[in-house]
């Protein structure tokens, strides 16, 4: 197995768990060598890393460590290159790489990162011919880069999109991968909205089912999934019903993945009593949905649970009380607790991601 360097996104714990879950689901042999808030180093058997980074939502770049012989292995004689150093001797490294590329007979243009950043952003990475990562005097060559332009294009071109009502493509991918779903898996989103999670699962070659009790959202979801093209016909079904009746419409599926209804859009902080009433309402809703998921989900449930920030503190849902007895919290890494927080400190609604697995 070779060593690979993963540059993690803004939520490093989520990014790490996503990578681990992705590899486990595909029975890819791997071991975690080192992990920080910025990167993770894995030993992994050879796989399609270009596909992997398209599937992942929380990884910015993947680089392969190599024994230095030739830095550039392409066919161009004029290249653009970049260097990210997690060591302190960046100036020495830059001078060395510049001289080495010159000796390789290349006309090389150095691409600088923005001020106060140690690396160029993925939007620039996709346009360089050679990107090196240096850590502990070892070099890794970037072999796969997340392309933010693809995400933006999908959001802007699909028939229906409202940034205030949908989760990001990035988060959708992370949630899917945390469930352990993979090619040919079946996935249910019981609060599908306009279908972002379903869309990304389809693009990963899964069969998907969506439920929502809002007829307009269901119509928009169907339009969005039809927009993906003929390739995905027959791989999805959407139902305009209450998710507390899910088992009447959906039979056995592998995983359920959702950011559920989290309450109304909040323009200001709730009072304690308002937050408590909303928490009770959602707890009852989620309890009814989990009774149905217990009947139909064979493997894992990934569920986003809200916590409401108020002036005096926070109001939580008693989520552990409504988890079905056949499921338990899944811990993918011994040092990272579940649920995983996913929110900004200023958010009125704080999100916590739970990963549940059925007892075998």
d(CA 314, CA 62): 38
The pLDDT score that the predictor gives to residue 287 is 97
The pLDDT score that the predictor gives to residue 346 is 82
The pLDDT score that the predictor gives to residue 69 is 81
The pLDDT score that the predictor gives to residue 345 is 77
pTM: 0.94
Is 152-358 in the same CATH topology as 2-146?
A: no
Q: Which residues pair with 83 in a beta bridge?
A: 132
Give the mean pLDDT of the chain. 93
The pLDDT score that the predictor gives to residue 189 is 98
Task: Give the domain 152-358 fold.
Answer: Rossmann fold (3.40.50)
pLDDT in tens, 75-116: 888 999 999 998 878 888 899 999 999 999 999 999 988 887
Q: Give me the DSSP letters along 244-259.
A: GGGGGT---EEEEEE-
Intervals of the chain under pLDDT 70: none
Q: What are phi and psi of 242, to 5 degrees?
A: -80, 130
Q: In the chain, what are the domain boundaries?
A: 2-146, 152-358
Element holding 35 (H helix, E strand): strand 30-35
Task: Give the domain 2-146 fold.
Answer: VC0802-like (3.30.2130)
* Termini Cα distance of the chain: 30
Element holding 322 (H helix, E strand): helix 319-322
The pLDDT score that the predictor gives to residue 142 is 96
Helix H segments across 138-271? 148-157, 169-178, 196-203, 215-227
| In contact, 72 and 82? CB cutoff 8 Å | no
The pLDDT score that the predictor gives to residue 89 is 80
The pLDDT score that the predictor gives to residue 17 is 97
């Amino acid at each position: 197995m070779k060593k690979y360097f993963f540059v993690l996104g803004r939520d490093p714990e989520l990014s790490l768990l996503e990578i681990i879950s992705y590899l486990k689901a595909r029975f890819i042999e791997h071991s975690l060598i080192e992990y920080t808030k910025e990167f993770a180093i894995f030993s992994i058997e050879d796989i399609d890393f270009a596909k992997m980074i398209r599937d992942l939502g929380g990884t910015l770049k993947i680089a392969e460590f190599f024994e230095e012989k030739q830095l550039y292995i392409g066919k161009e004689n004029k290249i653009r290159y970049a260097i990210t150093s997690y060591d302190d001797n960046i100036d020495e490294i830059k001078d060395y790489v510049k001289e080495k590329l010159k000796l390789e007979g290349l006309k090389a243009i150095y691409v600088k990162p923005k001020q106060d950043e140690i690396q160029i952003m993925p939007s620039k990475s996709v346009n360089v011919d050679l990107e090196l990562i240096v850590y502990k005097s070892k070099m890794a060559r970037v072999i796969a880069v997340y392309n933010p332009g693809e995400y933006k294009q999908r959001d802007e071109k699909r028939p229906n999109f409202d940034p205030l009502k949908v989760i990001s493509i990035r988060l959708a991918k992370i949630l899917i991968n945390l469930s352990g779903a993979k090619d040919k898996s079946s996935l249910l989103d019981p609060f599908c909205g306009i279908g972002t999670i379903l869309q990304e699962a389809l693009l990963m070659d899964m069969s998907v089912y969506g439920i929502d009790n809002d007829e307009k959202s269901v119509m928009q979801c169907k339009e969005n999934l039809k927009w993906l093209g003929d390739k995905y016909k027959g791989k999805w079904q959407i139902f305009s019903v209450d998710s507390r009746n899910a088992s009447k419409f959906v039979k056995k599926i592998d995983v359920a993945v959702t950011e559920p209804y989290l309450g109304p859009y909040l323009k200001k902080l709730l009072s304690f009593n308002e937050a408590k009433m909303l928490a009770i309402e959602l707890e009852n809703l989620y309890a009814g949905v989990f009774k149905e998921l217990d009947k139909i989900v064979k493997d894992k449930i990934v569920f986003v649970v809200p916590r409401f920030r108020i002036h005096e503190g926070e109001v939580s849902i008693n989520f552990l009380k409504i988890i079905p007895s056949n499921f338990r919290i899944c811990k993918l890494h011994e040092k990272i607790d579940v649920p995983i927080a996913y929110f900004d400190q200023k958010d009125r609604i704080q999100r916590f991601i739970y990963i549940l697995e059925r007892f075998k």
